[in-house]
Amino acid sequence: LLKRVIKAEKLEVVSHLAASISHEVRNPLTTTKGFLQLLRDDEISTEKRDEYIKISLDELDRATNIIKDYLTFARPEAEHQNPISIHSELKNCMNVLTPLAQMENVQFKEDFCEEELFVLGDSLKFKQSIINILKNGIESYHAGGLIQLSAEKEDTYVKITISDFGKGMTEDQVLRLGEPYFSTKSNGTGLGMMVTYSIIHSMNGHIYVNSAPGQGTVFRIFLPLHVK
Ligand code: ADP
Ligand code: MG
């Protein structure tokens, strides 16, 4: 029974993600369509025209950001539970974000244990969950900084630690983390952490967050160790 319950929860997460994407992307697209229709009017002032174009472009950016938070990797319909190597998955995530990190002057520093560690999960989804955390880390800096990643074994779990020394969060912000649409960014979706939490929970994992304004943020992720 327990197995069935867990399975059902996972399916719920998956279909929830799929439903969310189409819902979330529809809003900015509808807004854009409305403003494009307004632009057809020859009578409108140049000022209004510029404003409508700006709103449309911002809304299209928003649609793109939503898709990135959900689907940089993970296809919501597919769920392949495999033993995945934590080290190579984390390395892959860093590689994907290297262009963004370089642009923002952020460096990654890794500290992985010798032993190769495996967990059960969908490689694409797992990467999506880590990338959303790393992206927030990059965005926590104004003028660059360091993000540390470590992976080690702790009892029957793999412990992944991701630290930044950026702007940090208040206690209240930490409590709201993962709540849909909670964002303090002008172009934020407030969906990235929700996606991360649902993926990690669907892997029977746990996330703990420590943060302080002006000091930075530490994410600790525990995932059941897969012993081959
Ligand atoms: P978004 O990044 O689109 O705002 P997220 O769900 O990824 O949405 O994050 C929600 C909010 O949590 C962010 O807007 C930010 O306020 C806060 N946050 C998340 N990670 C960090 C971090 N590493 N440092 C500071 N604030 C963070
Ligand atoms: Mg984010």
Enter the pTM of the model: 0.82
Q: Which long-range contacts (CB under 8 A, 24 or more apart) does 58-64 make?
A: 58/187, 59/28, 59/29, 59/31, 59/32, 59/35, 60/28, 60/32, 61/187, 62/28, 62/187, 62/189, 63/25, 63/28, 63/29, 63/32
Whether the per-residue pLDDT at 206 is higher than 70: the answer is: yes
Query: How do strand 82-85 and strand 118-121 relate by DSSP bridges?
Result: antiparallel
Rounded to an integer, the average pLDDT of 57-78 is 76
Residue nearest to atom 25 of ligand 1 (CA): 168
Question: Phi/psi at 221 (nearest 5 deg)?
Answer: -115, 130
**In this structure, which amino acid lies at residue 77?**
E
Q: What span, in angstroms and rounded, lies between the C-alpha atoms of 22 and 214?
A: 36
Across 10-14, 76-80, 91-95, 105-109, least confident range: 10-14
Quick: pLDDT tens for 116-146: 999 999 888 899 999 999 999 999 999 999 9
Tokens 């997460």, residue located: 13
pLDDT at 24: 77
CA of 37 to the centre of ligand 1 (A): 34
Q: What are the tokens at 42?
A: 């020859």
- Burial of 97 per CB tally in 10 Å (0-12, 13-18, 19+): buried
Average pLDDT value for the chain: 88
Quick: pLDDT tens for 5-53: 544 444 455 456 666 677 778 888 999 999 999 999 989 999 999 999 9
CA of 106 to the centre of ligand 1 (A): 17
The SS3 of residue 153 is: strand
Of all ligands present, the nearest one to the C-alpha of 216 is 1
CA of 136 to the centre of ligand 1 (A): 5
